[in-house]
Amino acid sequence: MHRLTIHELHKKLKGKEVTAQEATEALLKRIKEVDPKIKAYLTVTEKEAIAGAQEADRRIADGKISPLTGIPLAIKDNMCTQGIQTTCASKILEGFIPPYDATVVKRLKDEGGVLLGKANMDEFAMGSSTENSRFTVTRNPWNLETIPGGSSGGSAAAVAADACIAALGSDTGGSIRQPAACCGVVGMKPTYGRISRYGLVAFGSSLDQIGPITKDVEDCAILLNAIAGHDPLDSTSINLPIPDYSKALIKDVKGWTLGVPKEFFVEGMDPQVEEEVGAAIRVLEGLGATVKEIALPHTGYAVATYYIICTAEASSNLARYDGVKYGFRAPESKELMEMYQETRSEGFGPEVKRRIMLGTYVLSSGYYDAYYRKASQVRTLIKEDFEKAFDQCDVIITPTAPTPAFRLGEKMEDPLQMYLSDIFTISVNLAGVPALSIPCGFSNEGLPIGLQIIGKHLEEERIIQAAYTFEQNTDHHTKRPKLS
């Protein structure tokens, strides 16, 4: 049962072949079997899951079934869950029990979705390997010696290992798409503002976006249907009607123009990634699409721009963790300043401290114009690059990440190398446009490779259509890790 997708399990629940409780119990059993190896979860909410499943079964008995009723899901541990510890994989939030649900969590529960637990991540979503978690290192189900990607590595590994049916992640610079690519699953970062961030612990508020991580494109559309839409509790959420994303599950790209940015196919990219992405583009061409080389001329500035903007926003967002309001407080301090200092020194890990320091620096008086203001200007140029590109094509196709999953520990001593893992995903967040990663092949070592499909603002439907067409004409999504 754990192998099923959302739409497959939904059919069985609807046809009364299984109950939500049976499905949830099967998933909890699967977690017990595989999670000691992959460590995707920080908290497994067994009791709540069973109670949620029983409630779903009552609804089903009353004939009130919707696509997520009774579906067991995992949630990244930076989304608030009422009554359930939410840590962002940080010691500073250890013991923090939110008094409310994030809007996305509430929407899933309103549909009868079942919460299996909270997924591991890089501390405060800062990282590309999930190794920055202060609690545990998640492993890639395809090869336990490699990283699952990050920062939503727990969510992606849980989906790939069938330790949940689907999951939610968050993406500030690639944190849904890059782990989805590393773990061979589908991950989408919707348009900035399409999904409410209310109850998502803020990292880079102008970049952060929640999105689905799923086993196939159909599930991606189903989850998106449930979580997208305006929320008065998030002032950046877009007040526009939401289409039915399932209607975009169409196998057709005939006459479409695929933009392929020349700046994304540069030296230093893993040749196997280049090969598989090239093959994927040829599949779409074979289905009637035309390929056009496009230019995104400011791509080379994206990583630097991102690391100014996201650290600036993070330094401000993380100022609230002072030992007074949330979770952890250093126990020994004698006076207030000492308490702040010791709480923050012990509570935050090295990468988070690095970002707070960088962010404080780029915002400081005398440097603000040179760094933050300049970065904001470059961000506008990057956004305009995309606008111009979309005058010439329907979707943009790139690799999701420059390499398949790397080995655990390989990049921990070199933050710059780690930052480059997101070189193809970061500009999408700066521009605020939607993008999805879909499996498009495997390396010689059997590690998944991801294809990124980028769309215009609010054109998630086109992305879904292109991804679905590719998926239904290939068999990458049917492969599962052996986990032996």
Regarding 151 and contact with ligand GLN (CB under 6 A), the answer is yes
The reply to whether 76 belongs to the active site is yes
User: What character string, x for contact with ligand GLN (CB under 6 A) and - otherwise, covers 194-223?
Assistant: ---------x--------------------
Q: Which is nearer to ligand GLN, 53 or 273 (CB)?
A: 273
Q: Which stretch binds ligand GLN (CB under 6 A): 92-100, 122-130, 371-379, 386-394?
A: 122-130
Residue 173's closest CA among 422, 454, 436, 415?
422
DSSP single-letter state for residue 372: I
Residue closer to ligand GLN by CB (options 114, 156) is: 156
Active-site annotation holder among 76, 109, 215, 456: 76
Looking only at the bridges linking them, the beta strands covering 166-171 and 41-44 are unpaired
Alpha carbon of 229 to those of 71, 203, 233: distances in Å? 21, 21, 12
Active-site residue, selected from the candidate residues 133, 175, 315, 427: 175
By the rule CB under 6 A, 123 interacts with ligand GLN: no
Total binding residues for ligand GLN by CB under 6 A?
A: 13
Nearer to ligand GLN, 155 or 443 (CB): 155
Q: Does 175 bind ligand GLN (CB under 6 A)?
A: yes
Residue 437 a catalytic site member = no
Our CB check for ligand GLN shows the closer of 172 and 443 to be 172
Tokens of 424: 């193809």
Residue 155 engages ligand GLN in binding (rule: CB under 6 A): no
**156 neighbors 148 (Cβ within 8 angstroms):** yes
Q: Are 171 and 190 in contact (CB under 8 A)?
A: no
- The stretch near ligand GLN (CB under 6 A) out of 34-42, 126-134, 234-242, 319-327 is 126-134
CA 347/CA 90 separation, integer angstroms: 7
According to CB under 6 A, which one of 98, 173, 193, 327 is a site residue for ligand GLN?
173
Query: Closest Cα partner for 38 from 131, 127, 148?
Result: 148
How far is C-alpha 153 from the chain's CA centre? 8
Q: Does 125 bind ligand GLN (CB under 6 A)?
A: yes
DSSP per residue, 377-443: HHHHHHHHHHHHHTTT-SEEEEESSSSS--BTTTTTT-HHHHHGGGTTTHHHHHHT--EEEEEEEE-
291 φ/ψ sector (left φ>0, alpha ψ -120 to 50, else beta)? beta
Residue 127 Cβ, how far from ligand GLN at the closest point, in Å?
5
- Out of 123, 131, 218, 422, name the contact with ligand GLN by CB under 6 A: 422
Strand pairing category for 186-189 and 395-399: unpaired
CB of 275 to ligand GLN, least distance (A): 25
Residue partners of 13: CB distance under 8 A and separation at least 6: 19, 20, 23, 56, 60, 65, 69, 70
> Residue number with the shortest CB distance to ligand GLN?
175
171 binds ligand GLN (CB under 6 A): yes
**Residue in 133, 151, 421, 443 annotated catalytic:** 151
| CB 132, min distance to ligand GLN, A | 8
**Is the bond into 151 cis (omega within 30 degrees of 0)?**
yes
Residue 469: which residues within 8 A CB-CB, separation 6 or more? 250, 251, 252, 253, 284, 287
**Applying CB under 6 A, which of residues 31, 195, 238, 310 lies at the interface with ligand GLN?**
310
Q: Of residues 42, 126, 160, 281, which one binds ligand GLN by CB under 6 A?
A: 126
Active site residue 364: no
Residues near ligand GLN (CB under 6 A) are 125-128, 151, 171-175, 203, 310, 422
Which residues carry out catalysis? 76, 151, 175
